[in-house]
Structure 1
């Protein structure tokens, strides 16, 4: 067995630093928490290159007395606790006494501090755990910490850091959390000399939420308040309309400390269960106060986890408080439309077909018929589905639709005349069916999908969602939403593979308030978003402008849908190419699909069935749900006891 020896102090400091200082945000967390404990009411954090090169934390707190500065950098030196009993009554954010010694072990630290009863302050430098300088200096009351070249002496640790933008986003998230839990303190974060967070420090938590998350979140808040035996709850929760695709908007604080707790998260999400769809998470900013003796904060070095002595009671208290807040308010989303949008809408109504699905179908039919987008063979196969009188109607409607491609009038006339001649020939050869007797092909094999079968009959629509059809001795029920989902999905995937993506301009454009993490995603995959049809521009500060979206999925013009896309991309973690974004957009095909409880005409239903039968796999939607179910004639007759 190797000889057992006591480690040297340098090695001990680096081990401690490994537990406390994982990345630049760990340094900022410890320094800002110390500033909060020093009763500062204004804290400014400045970082460069994500905090890897430079961090400066300035506060106007009580400062550190001259004679205690060296002691502050010793391991386990703290002013927060005195004995083991104090661990069960911790009221401050920091208390371990490892922060400054750990930071000094892996960075070049400069400290400037002055208390109110001293005439001058002290400037102290310590690099890699070794004192470099200590001198008196003129400075205002409070403390300034400067940390340069983090992990300069531990290159193995430094190479595991992420990009500067990603590291900065961790710091931004931290400052947001601290600002929400301490609305009485004015916080400011600057990254590369640009302001990313700025809060008023007026003690109003709702104002802090507005400055951090923007107006859309602030105007959809519900106050949550409850006083129970084991927990007191204050704060705000969001209406279901601002739900997100991950838990990034769930913020809760226990005795002023931002934490992560499975008990609290489950309580919040269970309370929202009947208000949210699956895999949707709410916005919360809840302050929980529990008796100090029933809370153990000494669970993890980062102090992000706590242990409740009465976990079940805390769970029920939170669930009840959130449910009460939700039940007492009208949660119907309020749709706002500005004057300009109303004017534009009024002009468009003269030419647009009221039903979006019908409008798109007709536009596509005209393009395919008259602009030569289909081959002659494909047009021949399409012709039986369009009787002569319908072709004439399409001609009349063609004048109302703006063509998106420049094709010469001569070519259009030739194509139009050729189609008319073929139409007349087909109509003479084949009977024309009435609307109620429209015949469609139900295909069992891919090679049969372009054939026309006159034995397929649409019966009608049930519950404004399901279409009833008869084919030979089979009875079919089709879910119109699931069917349209599948059609959109396969069309989009095919377009992406062929690189036939077009952008649709938004009027007015979407203006979004994004976090640094969301901005990082947009910047990192800007080319991918561009190739998919998005036009995204910076709008100043944390605001971004979405001017165009993929025309293949016009539903993405909704602000909520674009946020969902960002959430789902962020959840993927590290991505190597644009395939992940492509899959996420394709999986959102349902957002642009016709919905259940939506009346469709017989003609629309025909077109839907026809398009579904062209899919490679028409039997399930992108989520795996069946697009249709069937029942044989024999099974029906058994139900009516015609067959025993």
Structure 2
């Protein structure tokens, strides 16, 4: 049987679409304050906004006769008919916010229009009018929202902790501060002032207050007009990057939006400047004709559609590329003019070659003949591979042969070639390209990537030490001070024990700053700040419940950052020790990210290449 829902149920369903949590209440009411022309807005919350939210502005206020109507569904002063949806300039327009908020909470409104002699107080609980009286009040509007979801307990139980909800509201206020720098914002949490902007229109000052001096010092301005659109704001230099998009903020006509198109355009602009899987800092503002936008896509108005997608994409990508090109500190190489003798370029036909003595200990020697006294290294020798497969591999070209060899190595039914009962010697030959070490073993030449090998060794050590609880804390000579966003600070407090288990001792340093005083001895040579941010970024979007598992899952990243890099000079003794440790690993053939640590080339292939075998 089909029946119509009553208005009370309809209102509560609609409220669930618009008002998901206290942060949504703050967003909707602050947007109304901005639309009302306010240049000073104060937001105060208690217990994560669940029990109390008060928003005060100095805007135009609400006329007495309009107050009851404002709480009706789809009552709005922003549009009159469907045609107005094509030219929306206000942040709010659907007339759902006040009705939705009032249906699931206890709302008190105090407002005074600028030309009125007195103000009015209107109280509505769960969508039911309680009182409507005249009161003395300053120009503007104050909303007090108490006990959100008090009459919908099913929704109330899905709210997060008070701290989490408070953090979400803090993020909303941060976006308002960035997108409307000409408005004075004051944000108070449980009696403590968390945000206070000057309203002087300086976006850079607000970026500094939210993200700290490290990012503020690395900002590159953007101000481009193209296709009758204007893009302004700031991007960070390439060295400011994370492995999540948490540092990317995009605003369109003053509205915060999350657009895959804009994310892709920004990443395209940074292509070639930062590594894949890393994301830059960007706070960008797009001013565009409202008729080219559809903002009526989602109840939260966080999504938009563009009628001129290609032009918007080009504007973002090209503006960023141009800003980075101008800011680059690496000069382009050009041929010197004849009148500038102080610049000497080597002839491309006669490149300069520097010969290095093979006896200098700090430089790896490239050939075995230069090192006749290298001692042989013992290790566990393998049983022979399947002879039939090997013979087939020898008939293939080099690339296919290497692939087949790796398939053999990765076959779980094969035995670890470095962990057999009999011992056999292998010989370290030397290094090529500053990264790859060559080993002679029987009729094979193994080529080992020093970074991938070291990464594997460190990864297994870290995992083992974590399981055995053998992480030793190393005191830093000087504490590392880091400025965090509210969300990051919450994560630190939530996972403080897990960070301690990994070697980080963290102390509060005042405000949103923390000080790292110790790290694990595994990471003492690393950039502590970069490593800490790498772990923190991994936690931002992680949904695993076990705190220590969250950290353990980042060990591959930690090992990668700690491992010796390509072109880092290793002595023969250091290389020998590294290779010994790699060969003892449980699974030595791949780094934690799946790249091979070792490839091989057979004596047969050498002889074939030199035409000893036809």
Please tell me the TM-score bracket, short chain as reference. 0.7 to 0.9
SS at 1:93 equivalent: coil
1:130-279 matches, cutoff 5 A: 130-279=128-277
**Counterpart of 1:122?**
120
Counterpart of 2:287 in structure 1 is 289
Q: Does 1:492 align with 2:462?
A: yes
CA contact (8 A) 1:440 1:606 kept: no
Contact kept, 8 Å, 1:20 with 1:99, in 2: the verdict is yes
Find the partner of 1:439 among 377, 382, 386. Answer: 377
CA distance in 2, matches of 1:169, 1:79: 31
2:299 to 282, 286, 301: 301
Instruction: Answer whether contact 1:165 1:516 (CA < 8 A) is retained.
Output: no
Paired residues for 1:157-556 under 5 Å = 157-330=155-328, 435-441=373-379, 443-444=381-382, 449=419, 455-555=425-525
Structure 1 residue 632 corresponds to structure 2 residue 570 = no
CA distance in 2, matches of 1:534, 1:256: 40
Deviation string 1:92-139 (CA, Å, 9 cap, x unpaired) is: 100111100110000011111122222322221110001112222222
1:443, distance to aligned residue in structure 2 (A): 4.6
In 2, Cα distance between equivalents of 1:48 and 1:566: 27
Per-residue CA deviations over 1:2-31 (Å, capped at 9, x if unaligned) read: 2543x3221221122111111111100000
TM-score with structure 2 length normalisation?
Answer: 0.85
Deviation at 1:239, TM superposition (A): 1.0
- What secondary structure, in the 3-state scheme, does the structure 1 residue paired with 2:239 have? helix
Aligned match of 1:575: 545
| Structure 1 Cα separation of the partners of residues 150 and 435 of structure 2 | 64
| Residue 559 of structure 2: aligned partner | 589
CA 1:3/1:596 → structure 2, altered by over 3 Å: closer, same or farther? closer
1:609 aligned onto 2:547 = no
Aligned pairs, how many? 543
1:240 is paired with a residue whose SS is coil
Alignment CA distance shift 1:3-1:639 (3 Å): closer
> Is the CA contact (8 Å cut-off) linking 1:550 and 1:556 kept in structure 2?
no
Contact 1:555 / 1:591 at 8 angstroms: preserved in 2? no
Deviates more, 1:302-311 or 1:516-525: 516-525
Q: For 2:205, what is the secondary structure of its paired residue?
A: helix
1:199–1:212 Cα contact (<8 Å) kept: no
Question: What TM-score, normalized by structure 1, do the two folds share?
Answer: 0.81
Counterpart contact for 2:556–2:593, Cα < 8 Å: no
1:557 shift after superposition: 4.7
Q: Separation in 2 of the partners of 1:435 and 1:267?
A: 57
In 1, Cα distance between equivalents of 2:511 and 2:217: 21
Q: Report if aligned partners of 2:32, 2:91 keep a CA contact under 8 Å in 1.
A: yes
Contact 2:376/2:425, CA 8 A, preserved across alignment: no
Correspondence list, 1:59-138, <5 A: 59-138=57-136
> 1:198 deviation in Å?
2.4
- Indicate whether 1:622 and 2:560 are aligned: no
Provide, for residues 24-65 of structure 1, a one-character-per-residue CA deviation record: whole Å limited to 9, x for no partner. 111000000011111111111111221111111111211112
> Is the Cα–Cα contact under 8 Å of residues 440 and 452 in structure 1 kept in the other structure?
no
SS in 2 for 1:328: helix
Q: Secondary structure in 2 aligned to 1:301?
A: coil
- The 10-residue stretch of structure 1 (556-565 or 11-20) with the greater mean CA deviation from structure 2: 556-565
Range 74-83 or range 546-555, more displaced: 546-555
Indicate the RMSD between aligned Cα atoms, in angstroms. Answer: 2.0
Q: Secondary structure at the match of 1:167?
A: helix
More helix by share: 1
Does the 8 A contact of 1:487 with 1:615 survive in 2? yes
Listed one character per residue, the Cα deviations across residues 50-96 of structure 1 (whole Å, up to 9, x for unaligned) are 11111111112111122221111111111111221111110010011
Change beyond 3 A, Cα 1:555–1:146: farther
CA distance 1:278–1:448, shift in 2 (3 Å): closer
- CA distance, structure 2, for counterparts of residue 190 and residue 575 of structure 1: 31
- 3-state secondary structure, aligned to 1:467: strand
Task: Tell me the CA shift for residue 553 of structure 1.
Answer: 2.6
Q: Secondary structure of the residue that 1:153 maps to in structure 2?
A: coil
Per the TM alignment, residue 556 of structure 1 is displaced from its structure 2 partner at its CA by 5.4
CA distance in 2, matches of 1:174, 1:141: 25
Alpha-carbon separation, structure 1, partners of 2:577 and 2:49 = 57
Alpha carbons of structure 1 residues 556 and 46: separation in structure 2 relative to 1, 3 Å: farther
What's the offset of the Cα at 1:452? 9.4
| 1:450 shift after superposition | 9.4
Q: Is the 8 A contact 2:112 2:118 kept in 1?
A: yes
Residue 61 of structure 1 contacts residue 143 of structure 1 at CA under 8 Å; is this kept in 2?
yes
Structure 1 segments of 4+ aligned residues over 3 angstroms from their partners: 442-455
In the TM superposition, residue 453 of structure 1 has moved relative to its aligned partner by 5.3
Partner of 1:48: 46
CA contact (8 A) 2:221 2:234 kept: yes
CA distance in structure 2 between the aligned counterparts of 1:178 and 1:273, rounded to whole angstroms: 29
Q: Once the two structures are superposed, what CA deviation does each residue of 1:470-505 show, in whole Å capped at 9, x if it has no partner? A: 112111111111110001000111111111111112
- Is the partner of 1:552 in helix, strand or coil? helix
**Alignment deviations for residues 128-158 of structure 1 (CA, whole Å, 9 cap, x no partner):** 0011122222222221111111000000011
Distance in 1 (alpha carbons) for counterparts of 2:453 and 2:150: 58
Q: Which residue of 2 aligns with 1:558?
A: 528
Superposition deviation, residue 269 in structure 1: 0.8
Secondary structure at 2:606 match in 1: helix
User: Tell me, what secondary structure is at the counterpart of 1:441?
Assistant: strand
Aligned-partner SS, 1:620:
coil
Unaligned runs of 5+ in 1: 333-357, 359-432
Q: 1:443 to 1:57 in 2, by over 3 A?
A: farther
Report the secondary structure of 2:554's partner residue: helix
Shift of 1:184: 0.5
**Are the equivalent residues in 1 in contact too, given 2:113–2:139 (CA < 8 A)?**
yes
Preserved CA contact (<8 Å) 2:380 2:417: no
> Which is further off, 598-607 or 61-70?
61-70
Structure 1 partner of 2:23: 25
